[in-house]
Structure 1
Amino acid sequence: MTNLPELVSRLQEQLTSQMPDCAEAVMHLPSAVYTSEDRFQRERKALFRQLPLFVGFSAELPEPNSFRTMTIDSVRILLTRDKAGTLRAFRNSCRHRGMAVTEKSEGCAKRFTCPFHGWTFGNDGSLIGIAQAQHFPGVDKKDYGLSPIAVAEKYGLMFLQIEGDGPIDIDAHLGGLEKDLSEPGFQNWRLGGRNEHRANVNWKLFMDGFCEGYHFNTIHPNTLGAVVVPNTHVVDIFGLHARELFANKGLQEFTARGGGRPISMGGDVALIYLICPNLILIALHSGGWHAISIWPDGAIDRTLVSQTILVSDRATAEEQMDYIARANYIWEEVIKAEDFAVSESIWSALKGGDLPDMVLGRNEYPVQHFHRQFNRLAGPA
């Protein structure tokens, strides 16, 4: 990352001043932001249907004829690479009677045959066969291909937009972060693993938790709190999104000694990109990155959290394995063992009407930023 030295210098100033990058004022957030069904329905449309959404790394569709399926806001989606390797996205619903054309989560296929009545589609979405076509006079196959969804791919990242005909301008959407995200060369990296977990809470509670380090010493004293300096972060805003750099305790010791060695990603700092509405990209060290995606799971009180690990083509096998181990440790020991319990406790309080609003401190700057964006896009609660 070419501007890392400047960001680290800002972090070192914070270690001395003990004042992180802050919002201008305290923010009072009505609890209805989380509990209002009307607001949730507006979020579904404005955030998860009308914005470009990260749906994976290019490495997850590594070759022509690869495919993946997923569900976003109750929309079944089929991601494919056609025989030329071009990324495509469709609604995973047969144009005959609506059956999913494949129930598999991933694989390689040149065509998909609906299991209900045998209509067959190419991985470019075209309808190539109607079973017993004599019973469908006047039905032109070219009019009944799979329904396309706008999709784009750049820098090894894949985005789609459920509503809108596209094209998706990834650079415009990233709002200035494209320079940072083009540097790693994700398109040449490989998949290191995936995890997912569901919880009965509102999705924004998880997004909130990833946006600040104020809680590291209290919720994560033996995990993140043992490594990361709490309440110290450099924050930069890029349109809808934010970049956050945390100081590890290695940087604290390095700064106290007055320097003397190169700064290392992982040993000294951890880098996080917060991409609106629901993506957290994390770089722990040079061996890889991982993505945490937070999805509403069909209801106001259901959330799906997924993790995708990518390892660098420039890293040694040992570095790659170390990155996978670290990412999986954070998934199991931090996110599942600690963060989920916090979100469930907060959701219980919100459902019970225990608090009329939440109070977000100036040091919870990225949390404030994202709620302002959500309010702007989906309207206030």
Structure 2
Amino acid sequence: MTPPINDRSTRIGDVAEILLDYVEQKTTYQAQSIAHVRTSTYTDPDQWKAEMELVFRRVPLMLAFTAELPEPGDYKAMEAMGLPVLINRDKDGTVRAFLNVCSHRGAPVASEGRGNCARFTCKYHAWTFGQDGRLIGLSESATFGDVDKASLALRALPCEERAGMIFVCLTPNAPLNLDQYFRGFLEDFEGVGFDKWTYLGHRVIEGANWKIAFDGYLEGYHFASLHPSTIQPRTPSNRTFYEGFGPSMRIGFPQHRIAEALKDIPRDQWGEQENNGFDFVRILFPNVSAFLAPEITQVAQLFPGPTPDKNRTVLHYLRRDPIRDDEDRANVEAAINFFRDVTYQEDYIIGMEIQKGLEAGAHDELTFGRNERGNQYFHEWLNWYLQDDPSLPEPKM
């Protein structure tokens, strides 16, 4: 079921108690049964195309952070699912999103990256657009002919800023209901003041089919074998608790030291101890994994493609406090590179080996154990969207 999150501290304290029990009893969250997923799920071009149309073009995607566009006039131009997207904050502080395509001849009106400007000018013929997307100027308009400027605005995309993140739907005029979609989960980010955090930078890595890569973020069963010197010293393998919020998840991981960390803290204060004895990975369906930590936070943003056997992952880094000085910046850059290297070298490389294995056709199905409920839940929701029938019952955790 979807747990209530309106009393966030109480709920987190309850999860901490469960995680402590998992460590002491050497057990973990258990699904009702094992589950099977077709191998072709990761290789079939037709399914990949269906995922693009029925999932990535329809659901709210987290495309930017408040911390990336903190000031009026800030913008971010990027590619998402093969589409050029422009996100900007206007002079009144409102965030908007558009297809980054000039209405004259289709060129971009902003170069990829971030910046600050009062208007956007297409470099092809210098047509100019305001922060609200309206066409406000044509070069040499006297020779061009009469045009209806109101009908030549940038094509807007549904967009909403919540809890320190900016969500966009890639289909113009599509409904965007974040409360219905996230079922209270965004209040969890609001609880840590995510909208006040500092953006530190990003790194880009590439890997196998997006679901192969994403599967790795959804369980801790592999920590001892795949991460013996990086994650395992902090976090035990196969000790995981899952909560569902619609198709999204909060995954609890105990630390080895959870008993020691909590032993002198009153039970009613355990809900304020995240990262002291236990951690969470927050999953925003379909493609975001966020590990919030006080030292540095990594948010992985997975983009499928450009072909079914590949994904492009943008690893974003944030923390509560701004950069203090040059030494602090150097330490931050070193930490960013460390997390990037661990993610790529220990997770994404084996993911590409898995891709080759699945394409070899050795097995018709993959098996997810009772201890891998997060993976089961993700694939159940993915299949629910691919059936394209809202009358079907939704998956339950």
Normalised TM-score (structure 2): 0.88
Cα separation, 2, equivalents of 1:44 and 1:209: 21
User: What is the 5 A alignment of 1:325-364?
Assistant: 326=335, 328-332=337-341, 334-364=342-372
- 1:20 equivalent to 2:28? Answer yes
Cross-structure match for 1:78: 86
Identify which range, 312-321 or 297-306, moves more after superposition. 312-321
Q: Which runs of 5+ in 1 are unaligned?
A: none
> Which of 213, 220, 224 is equivalent to 2:220?
213
Q: What CA deviation, in whole Å up to 9, does each residue of 1:174-194 have, x standing for no partner?
A: 112133121111222211221
User: What is the 5 A alignment of 1:106-121?
Assistant: 106-121=114-129
Cα separation, 2, equivalents of 1:254 and 1:119: 60
1:153 Cα deviation from its structure 2 partner: 0.4
Give the aligned residue type for 1:132.
E
**1:39, 1:379 within 8 Å by CA — same for their partners in 2?**
no
Q: What CA deviation, in whole Å up to 9, does each residue of 1:299-343 have, x standing for no partner?
A: 2122111111221149999999978765542222x2011101110
- 1:197 equivalent to 2:205? Answer yes
Match of 1:281, SS state, is: strand
**2:209, 2:305 within 8 Å by CA — same for their partners in 1?**
no
**2:42, 2:309 within 8 Å by CA — same for their partners in 1?**
no
1:79 Cα deviation from its structure 2 partner: 0.5
Cα separation, 2, equivalents of 1:101 and 1:323: 33
Cross-structure match for 1:260: 264
**1:151, 1:166 within 8 Å by CA — same for their partners in 2?**
no
Q: What CA deviation, in whole Å up to 9, does each residue of 1:196-234 have, x standing for no partner?
A: 1123x2111111000000000001011111211110011
Q: What CA deviation, in whole Å up to 9, does each residue of 1:263-297 have, x standing for no partner?
A: 6433411111111100111123x345331111113
| 1:316–1:13 distance in 2 versus 1, CA, 3 Å | farther
Cross-structure match for 2:252: 245
Give the aligned residue type for 2:206.
R
User: What is the 5 A alignment of 1:31-50?
Assistant: 31-50=39-58
Q: What CA deviation, in whole Å up to 9, does each residue of 1:338-378 have, x standing for no partner?
A: 10111011000111212211001011110010000011101
Match of 2:289, SS state, is: strand
Q: What CA deviation, in whole Å up to 9, does each residue of 1:33-60 have, x standing for no partner?
A: 1111111001001111100000121010
Cα separation, 2, equivalents of 1:368 and 1:73: 25
**1:149, 1:163 within 8 Å by CA — same for their partners in 2?**
yes
Give the aligned residue type for 2:274.
M
**2:210, 2:310 within 8 Å by CA — same for their partners in 1?**
yes
Cross-structure match for 2:63: 55
Cα separation, 2, equivalents of 1:134 and 1:116: 18
| 1:319–1:47 distance in 2 versus 1, CA, 3 Å | farther
Cα separation, 1, equivalents of 2:89 and 2:26: 49
Cα separation, 1, equivalents of 2:382 and 2:305: 18
Cα separation, 1, equivalents of 2:159 and 2:145: 33
Q: Which runs of 5+ in 2 are unaligned?
A: 1-7, 389-397
1:66 Cα deviation from its structure 2 partner: 0.4
Cross-structure match for 1:373: 381
Match of 2:109, SS state, is: coil
**2:65, 2:164 within 8 Å by CA — same for their partners in 1?**
yes
Identify which range, 133-142 or 37-46, moves more after superposition. 133-142
Q: What CA deviation, in whole Å up to 9, does each residue of 1:43-87 have, x standing for no partner?
A: 001111100000121010010000101111111000111111210
Give the aligned residue type for 2:370.
R
| 1:282–1:71 distance in 2 versus 1, CA, 3 Å | same
Match of 1:112, SS state, is: strand
Normalised TM-score (structure 1): 0.92
Cα separation, 2, equivalents of 1:274 and 1:265: 16
Give the aligned residue type for 2:291.
I
Give the aligned residue type for 2:241.
V
Cross-structure match for 1:277: 286
> Which of 56, 64, 68 is equivalent to 2:76?
68
**1:309, 1:324 within 8 Å by CA — same for their partners in 2?**
no
Q: Which runs of 4+ in 1 moved over 4 A?
A: 252-255, 261-264, 313-328
Cross-structure match for 2:137: 129
Q: What CA deviation, in whole Å up to 9, does each residue of 1:139-159 have, x standing for no partner?
A: 111110111011000111110
| 1:309–1:55 distance in 2 versus 1, CA, 3 Å | same
| 1:241–1:324 distance in 2 versus 1, CA, 3 Å | farther
Q: Percent identity?
A: 29
Give the aligned residue type for 1:237.
G
Give the aligned residue type for 1:229.
P
1:168 Cα deviation from its structure 2 partner: 2.5
Cross-structure match for 2:320: 312
Cross-structure match for 1:87: 95
Cα separation, 2, equivalents of 1:17 and 1:277: 33
1:164 Cα deviation from its structure 2 partner: 4.6
Cα separation, 1, equivalents of 2:257 and 2:329: 21
| 1:251–1:325 distance in 2 versus 1, CA, 3 Å | farther
User: RMSD of aligned C-alpha atoms?
Assistant: 2.4
Aligned length: 374
